[in-house]
């Protein structure tokens, strides 16, 4: 028996000691981390993953992007549940974030850091040095760009450099304070500077969409502009936002020198000489084609960086197609509309801005010199010709409509940017007239609550849905026009603050401004406003210019905040036409009582809303972290 047991135990023990291998995974040659760096294709795929963190701005209307477009005074989106509602209704909080890309962007930072660490170890002889360099600098740009994206939403964040955080560390071991704004700016500027030194001016066709030298410089340019603006430059609200050790996270006092840096950084982009304002020579420099072509002519000379590359513009199209005209399988869900305030922001054809402000009841204050009718008459119905439609060769019976006086004789960018109801909506053979009143032809499940619709992204020469597909856009995340505006603003601010330096030149600024306006068929601003001689007065006009030129491109949300004018403009009643409660008797007609300034919603802006709160779960997890102001 003893023998038997001994044998049995021996067999048992033997069996068990060899079990580790019994339990091994049957070899199936799965992908491993090591293999990524052994074959060119895999390394390139790892590169794709990192670059894929760049936001697809051709899809700006979805998710997070909708916040930049609709949570500011330039537009409205009809959507009861989208996150931006939390902002405009004042119900945003650390636990009720409209969107939280922080973790996804830091995921990108981690993937990029890992990639940068290993890319040069790629052992495939087919992976040329030039491949590795291209991959490396593309990813290094992406990592810095993610920080830029985070900073404009949250301000100072956590700089990780090349660290890969140990995930086995306890929650307590991972407590970490935020870096300061200055540190973050320096990091991104330094990273982008070294990227700009290693990235080419342009790429061959196959690499279009990859960041270039200009892109890296444009990020610096815009970041320095933001950093010079009041929100980040000695904002008194933020004095108490400090790390637990007392370090202030934001600069305590304004530093005018930052305007100099901003001006120089923007001039540097201009001086690359790579970019030109887009002009449509095929249409003889027609202002309508010039301006609308920026968004239709892919890879045009004005585009500095197109985040996300050549993409379908389906979301732009569907959200700017009237539901009534493109219904059923055409699937229009036109819900993106400029507010009345934005409509008011466009100049008259003569260059003067018609509306200078509002009475407390919303009645506009009219600049008589502009030729705009008195408030009582602005909705008088008259024959209005839409010159953009005319330029698009719509028949005269269609491009002329009986519409309020308000829409008559406005500047070209008005007609490109705003679709006003009652006007003809050209859409190849499916064109028609849409309005957005209840039971009117424009009212479906989705409609623009303001009664207007954004027009600039719709290519009226095409009927996307009849053709079965939308076409593509190379969305100008950075374009030369913006850089001009950045530069002019910075120079004017330098003038105001009495600082200066190389490349800070008012004459240059005024010339660039003139070129920009001329492109859209406008004379120099000083022609329309000969009395605007002070830099303060010019700055005011420049801000209006910026609002119009860059309308619906995702700038206004950050501009109103960094200028700190959001409490005045992003809060309070939002006006539009009275489409919400007005019933149209005949489908195409706009009912008379629809033509009225109507406060379709009242928005809230609190001082805490300048920057997003960090998610509450982040604050809970990281006891050294300081929440943003007011949260």
- Residues within window 78-107 making contact with other proteins, judged by CB under 8 A: 80-81, 86, 89, 91, 93-96, 102-104, 106-107
Query: Nearest distance from residue 455's CB to other proteins, in Å?
Result: 25
Query: Nearest distance from residue 27's CB to other proteins, in Å?
Result: 9
DSSP assignment of 113-158: HHHHHHGGG---TTS-HHHHHHHHHHHHHHHHHHHHHHHHHHSS--
Quote the tokens at residue 289. 């084609």
Q: Quick one: which of 222, 258, 279, 311 contacts other proteins (CB under 8 A)?
A: 311
Q: Quick one: which of 158, 291, 372, 475 contacts other proteins (CB under 8 A)?
A: 158
Q: Quick one: which of 381, 430, 438, 496 contacts other proteins (CB under 8 A)?
A: 438
**Is the CB of residue 413 less than 8 Å from the CB of residue 388?**
no
Quote the tokens at residue 17. 């000691």
Q: Return the range that interacts with other proteins (CB under 8 A); candidates 158-166, 339-347, 363-371, 503-511.
A: 158-166
Q: Quick one: which of 6, 10, 52, 186 contacts other proteins (CB under 8 A)?
A: 52
From CA 177, how far away is CA 179, in angstroms rounded?
7
Nearer of residues 94 and 373 to other proteins, judged by Cβ: 94
From CA 562, how far away is CA 150, in angstroms rounded?
15
Query: Nearest distance from residue 601's CB to other proteins, in Å?
Result: 10
249 near other proteins, rule: CB under 8 A: no
Q: How many CB atoms lie within 10 A of CB 529?
A: 17
Q: Quick one: which of 581, 586, 593, 602 contacts other proteins (CB under 8 A)?
A: 581
From CA 115, how far away is CA 140, in angstroms rounded?
9
Nearer of residues 174 and 374 to other proteins, judged by Cβ: 174
Sites for other proteins among residues 396-425 (CB under 8 A): none
Sites for other proteins among residues 170-229 (CB under 8 A): 170-171, 174, 176, 205-210
Query: Nearest distance from residue 29's CB to other proteins, in Å?
Result: 10
Helix (H) or strand (E) holding 46: helix 40-51
Q: Quick one: which of 340, 386, 622, 628 contacts other proteins (CB under 8 A)?
A: 622
23 near other proteins, rule: CB under 8 A: yes
Computed on alpha carbons and rounded to an integer, the radius of gyration of the chain in Å comes to 28
Sites for other proteins among residues 463-482 (CB under 8 A): 472
Query: Nearest distance from residue 240's CB to other proteins, in Å?
Result: 20
Beta partners for residue 358, in sequence order:
364
Query: Nearest distance from residue 358's CB to other proteins, in Å?
Result: 25
244 near other proteins, rule: CB under 8 A: no
Q: Quick one: which of 38, 40, 82, 110 contacts other proteins (CB under 8 A)?
A: 110
Cα maximum dimension of the chain = 116
**Is the CB of residue 315 less than 8 Å from the CB of residue 62?**
yes
Q: Which residues, including other chains, have CB under 8 Å from residue 4's CB and lie 6 or more apart?
A: none
Give the CA angle between residues 407, 60, 193 to the nearest 5°: 115
Owner of token pair 């030109």: 276
What letters, b where the CB count within 10 A reaches 16 and e where it falls short, cover 444-458? bebbbbbbbbbbbbb
Q: Return the range that interacts with other proteins (CB under 8 A); candidates 42-50, 270-278, 406-414, 560-568.
A: 42-50
Q: Quick one: which of 186, 283, 602, 621 contacts other proteins (CB under 8 A)?
A: 621
Query: Nearest distance from residue 225's CB to other proteins, in Å?
Result: 26
**Is the CB of residue 199 less than 8 Å from the CB of residue 137?**
yes
Helix (H) or strand (E) holding 484: helix 480-497
Sites for other proteins among residues 583-602 (CB under 8 A): 583
SS3 helix, strand, coil % of the chain, rounded to 5?
Answer: 45, 10, 45
Query: Nearest distance from residue 478's CB to other proteins, in Å?
Result: 16
**Is the CB of residue 597 less than 8 Å from the CB of residue 575?**
yes
462 near other proteins, rule: CB under 8 A: no
Q: How many CB atoms lie within 10 A of CB 442?
A: 30
Sites for other proteins among residues 601-620 (CB under 8 A): 615-620
Q: Return the range that interacts with other proteins (CB under 8 A); candidates 15-23, 124-132, 343-351, 498-506.
A: 15-23
16 near other proteins, rule: CB under 8 A: yes
Q: Quick one: which of 38, 63, 136, 165 contacts other proteins (CB under 8 A)?
A: 165
Q: Quick one: which of 129, 130, 168, 397 contacts other proteins (CB under 8 A)?
A: 168
31 near other proteins, rule: CB under 8 A: yes
- State how beta strands 418-419 and 453-454 pair: antiparallel
Count of positions on this chain that bind other proteins (CB under 8 A): 90
DSSP state of 207: G
């Amino acid at each position: 028996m003893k023998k038997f047991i001994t044998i049995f135990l021996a067999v048992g023990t033997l069996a068990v000691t060899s079990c580790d291998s019994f339990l091994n995974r049957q070899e199936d040659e799965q992908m491993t981390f090591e293999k990524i760096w052994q074959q060119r294709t895999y390394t390139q795929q790892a590169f794709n993953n990192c670059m894929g963190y760049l936001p697809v701005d051709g899809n700006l209307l979805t998710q997070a992007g909708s916040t930049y477009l609709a949570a500011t005074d330039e537009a409205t989106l009809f959507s009861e549940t989208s996150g931006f509602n939390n902002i405009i209704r004042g119900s945003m909080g650390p636990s009720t974030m409209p969107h939280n890309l922080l973790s996804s962007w830091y995921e990108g930072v981690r993937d990029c850091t890992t990639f940068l660490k290993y890319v040069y170890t790629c052992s495939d002889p087919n992976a040329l040095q030039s491949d590795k360099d291209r991959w490396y600098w593309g990813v290094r740009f992406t990592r810095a760009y993610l920080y830029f994206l985070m900073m404009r939403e949250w301000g100072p964040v956590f700089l990780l450099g090349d660290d890969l955080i140990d995930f086995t560390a306890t929650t307590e071991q991972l407590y970490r304070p935020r870096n300061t704004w200055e540190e973050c700016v320096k990091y991104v500027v330094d990273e982008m500077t070294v990227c700009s030194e290693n990235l080419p001016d342009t790429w061959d066709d196959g690499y279009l969409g990859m960041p270039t030298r200009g892109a890296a410089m444009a990020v610096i340019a815009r970041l320095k502009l933001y950093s010079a603006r009041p929100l980040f430059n000695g904002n008194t609200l933020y004095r108490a936002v400090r790390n637990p050790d007392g370090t202030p996270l934001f600069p305590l006092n304004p530093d005018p020198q930052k305007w100099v840096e901003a001006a120089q950084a923007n001039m540097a982009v201009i001086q690359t000489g790579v970019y030109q304002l887009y002009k449509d020579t095929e249409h003889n420099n027609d202002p309508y084609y010039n301006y609308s072509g920026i968004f239709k002519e892919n890879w045009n000379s004005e585009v500095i960086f197109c985040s996300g590359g050549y993409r379908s513009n389906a979301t732009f199209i569907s959200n700017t197609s009237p539901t009534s005209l493109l219904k059923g399988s055409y699937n229009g869900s036109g819900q993106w509309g400029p507010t009345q305030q934005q409509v008011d922001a466009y100049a008259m054809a003569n260059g003067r801005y018609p509306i200078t402000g509002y009475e407390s009841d919303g009645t506009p204050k009219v600049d008589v010199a502009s030729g705009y009718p008195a408030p009582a008459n602005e909705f008088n119905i008259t024959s209005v010709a839409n010159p953009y439609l005319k330029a698009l060769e719509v028949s005269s019976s269609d491009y002329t409509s009986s519409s309020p006086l308000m829409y008559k004789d406005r500047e070209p960018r008005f007609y490109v940017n705003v679709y006003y109801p009652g006007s003809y909506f050209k859409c190849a053979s499916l064109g028609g007239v849409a309005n957005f009143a209840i039971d009117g032809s424009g009212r479906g499940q989705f409609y623009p609550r303001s009664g207007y619709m954004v027009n600039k992204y719709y290519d009226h020469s095409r009927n996307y849905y009849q053709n079965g597909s939308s076409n593509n856009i190379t969305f100008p995340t950075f374009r030369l026009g913006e850089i001009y505006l950045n530069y002019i603003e910075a120079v004017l601010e330098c003038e105001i603050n009495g600082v200066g330096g190389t490349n800070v030149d008012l004459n240059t600024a005024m010339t660039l401004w003139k070129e920009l306006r001329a492109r859209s068929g406008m004379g120099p601003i000083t022609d329309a406003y000969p009395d605007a001689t002070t830099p303060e007065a010019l700055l005011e006009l420049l801000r209006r210019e910026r609002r119009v030129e860059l309308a619906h491109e995702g700038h206004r949300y950050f501009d109103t905040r960094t200028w700190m004018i959001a409490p005045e403009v992003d809060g309070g009643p939002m006006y539009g036409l009275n489409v919400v409660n007005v019933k149209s008797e005949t489908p195409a007609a706009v009912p008379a009582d629809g033509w009225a300034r109507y406060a379709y919603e009242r928005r809230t802006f609190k001082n805490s809303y300048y920057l997003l709160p960090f998610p509450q779960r982040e604050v809970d997890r990281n006891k050294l972290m300081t929440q943003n102001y007011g949260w």
